[in-house]
Amino acid sequence: MTGERRQWGSVDEYIDSFSGETRNRLEQLRQLVREEAPEAEERISYGMPGYDLDGMLVWFAGYARHIGLYPGADGVRAFEHELGPYEYARGSVRLALDEPLPIDLIRRIVRYRVTENLDKKRR
């Protein structure tokens, strides 16, 4: 399958609907988020995998030529100076399938979002 739009019952179902490099990248992103936010609740939100820890942290989605990473506007704004090599917009980053996944950058974005959510909770 190719990840066509439908309601997914689980993140496993979502990822399993892809093949090849898209599926590999989705699995990598899932693992990165789990490592950086092990207490986050994994769910399908807005039709894609999302992670909640006192509020949504990040989402990601697979496409034919890229992976979409959605850390929200604050998550993009905080790393905008490092996102030059990638297409990005308010709240989203496109990670091309023919380019290496920026693992360190993704880890730091997820950590930033965890800190941001936990700080909001403490206020």
In a domain, 4, yes or no: no
Q: In which band, very low, low, confident or very high, does the pLDDT at 38 lie, cut at 50, 70 and 90?
A: very high
Q: Please state the rounded mean pLDDT for residues 43-48.
A: 93
Q: Taking all residues of the chain, what is their mean pLDDT, rounded to a whole number?
A: 92
What are residue 92's DSSP bridge partners? 89
Q: Is residue 5 part of a domain?
A: no
What's residue 1's pLDDT?
Answer: 42
The domain spanning residue 67 has which CATH number?
3.90.1150.200
Residue with tokens 């990040």: 58
The reply to whether 3 falls in a domain is: no
Q: What is the pLDDT of residues 89-122, one digit of tens each?
A: 999 999 999 999 999 999 999 999 999 999 887 7
Let me know if residue 1 belongs to a domain: no
2-11, 71-80, 113-122: segment of lowest average pLDDT: 2-11
Asked, for residue 37, whether it belongs to a domain, the answer is: yes
Question: How many domains are there within the chain?
Answer: 1
Position 110 in a domain: yes
Contact 86, 95 (CB under 8 A): yes
Structure confidence at residue 5 as a pLDDT band (50, 70, 90): low
Cβ-contact 108, 75 below 8 angstroms: no
* 14 pLDDT more than 90: yes
Domain hosting residue 78, numbered range: 11-122
Strands 87-89 and 66-70, sheet pairing:
unpaired
pLDDT confidence of residue 3 = 46
Summarize pLDDT for 60-75 with one digit per residue, the tens: 999 999 999 999 999 9
Residue 6 lies in a domain: no
- pLDDT computed for residue 121 by the predictor: 74
Q: Give Cα 42 distance to the centre of its chain.
A: 11
Taking the C-alpha atoms of residue 96 and residue 26, their distance in angstroms, rounded to an integer, is 12
Q: What is the average pLDDT across 7-36?
A: 94
